[in-house]
Amino acid sequence: MPNKKLREVPEDNTGLAKLPKDVRNKMGFMKEGGATKTKGVKAPDGFHWMKKQGGGYNLMRHTGKFKGHKGASLTADFSIQERHKK
């Protein structure tokens, strides 16, 4: 949910706090600081990002010119956390 301001979970709404983070974020609520923006990060020269199953990225070395393939990218989007966890 990039570039959308997330609201804090109201203390009196205990059911909302029990939902998975992704579900809360889609509903416009945050937990643990709330990611509100993303930043594309370029891979270093000679490397590319490989998307991991279940989320996240690994760096993979390549030789010569980068050839795109499934799960590969020269940039990876990371969430920016606006504040510390409570």
Is residue 71 situated within a structural domain? yes
Predicted local distance difference test score (pLDDT) of residue 31: 58
pLDDT digits (tens, 9 = 90+) for 8-43: 777 777 777 777 777 777 777 665 554 457 889 999
Tally the domains of the chain: 1
61 pLDDT above the threshold of 80: yes
Residues 64, 14: Cα–Cα separation, whole Å: 54
Q: Whole-model pTM above 0.85?
A: no
Is residue 1 situated within a structural domain? no
Is residue 7 situated within a structural domain? no
Burial of 43 (0-12, 13-18, 19+ CB in 10 A): buried
Is residue 3 situated within a structural domain? no
Predicted local distance difference test score (pLDDT) of residue 1: 41
- DSSP symbol at 63: -
Residue 48, domain extent: 14-81
Is residue 4 situated within a structural domain? no
pLDDT band at 73 (very low <50, low <70, confident <90, very high): very high
Please, are residues 28 and 4 in contact by the beta-carbon 8 Å criterion? Answer: yes
Average pLDDT along the chain: 80
Token digits of residue 64: 């010569």
The dihedral of CA 20, 36, 3, 51: what is its sign? negative
